[in-house]
Amino acid sequence: MTTAAIIVAAGRGTRAGGALAKQWQELGDDTVAGHTLNAFLMAPGIRQIVIVLHPDDMDRRDRFQMRGCLVVTGGADRAASVRAGLAALQNSGTERVLIHDVARPCVSQTVIADVIAALDWATGAAPALAVTDALWTGADDIVTGTQDRTGLYRAQTPQGFRYDAICAAHAAHPGGAADDVEVARAAGLTVAIVPGDEDNLKITLPGDFARAERILRERHGH
């Protein structure tokens, strides 16, 4: 089946700090967005990549278009940006689509391949890590209770789906979903869990840049 990838890069990421949105900040020898794009350009089986940019960042589109990507303008929230990416793939012959957060530049080829492979038999698939730490509830910096961790997972991206199914799911969803798995499940789609990767971190806070840079340096040797 023909597979495409959508990289959602329209957020502002203010918690990460810095003068620029986190996807445009330097990470070793490239930007966060550059490393994320490279991972999907290297992935066998990805025929088309769509980059979804914030309206204020469309002056950056040439770099992505020069590398063969489709570039579209994002919407008011993540779901609207994903829908814009999905719409860009209409009439392209895409049968499977992977949706990935630009802020996960350390995604491995193994994770990408596992998600694609799972779509041979599942309508949706996403990487996740089982929660192993004890979980507490709390208020005002005081522990108020404990939470059973049985059956809990930490979700990652890319989250993959049969293209027609996730398009229909987004069209029917009222909004407010945390991710595309939530959208898919609301439409009754079955989503398989594939092994996640501790290195597939999402850059959220200032300290995450240094960790991501170490991961990439160890992986690529520079």
* pLDDT tens-digit series, residues 104-153: 999 999 999 999 999 999 999 999 999 999 999 999 999 999 999 999 99
Q: Give residue 16's pLDDT band: very low, low, confident or very high (50, 70, 90).
A: confident
Arithmetic mean of pLDDT, 36-55:
97
Look at residues 184, 164, 40 and name the one whose alpha carbon lies nearest to residue 91: 164
Q: Give residue 15's pLDDT band: very low, low, confident or very high (50, 70, 90).
A: confident
Arithmetic mean of pLDDT, 71-86:
96
Round to whole Å and give the CA distance between 159 and 163: 12
CB 81 within 8 A of CB 10: yes
Arithmetic mean of pLDDT, 12-21:
81
- Residues in CB range of 48: below 8 A, 6 or more apart: 4, 5, 70, 89, 92, 94
Round to whole Å and give the CA distance between 145 and 167: 40
3-state SS of 161-195 is: EEHHHHHHHHHHCCCCCCCHHHHHHHCCCCEEEEE
Question: What does 44-84 look like in DSSP terms, one character per residue?
Answer: TTEEEEEEEE-GGGGGGHHHHHTTT-EEEE--SSHHHHHHH
Domain residue ranges of the chain, discontinuous segments joined by + = 3-220
Round to whole Å and give the CA distance between 118 and 33: 26
Distances in Å between the Cα of 80 and the Cα atoms of 97, 156, 199 are 16, 19, 28
pLDDT score at 19 = 80
Kindly state the tokens that stand for 1. 């089946």
Round to whole Å and give the CA distance between 63 and 96: 25
18 or 91, greater pLDDT: 91
Return mean pLDDT, the chain.
Answer: 96
Round to whole Å and give the CA distance between 38 and 209: 17
For the stretch 149-187, pLDDT in tens is 999 999 999 999 999 999 999 999 998 999 999 999 999
In terms of CATH, what superfamily is 3-220? Spore Coat Polysaccharide Biosynthesis Protein SpsA; Chain A (3.90.550.10)
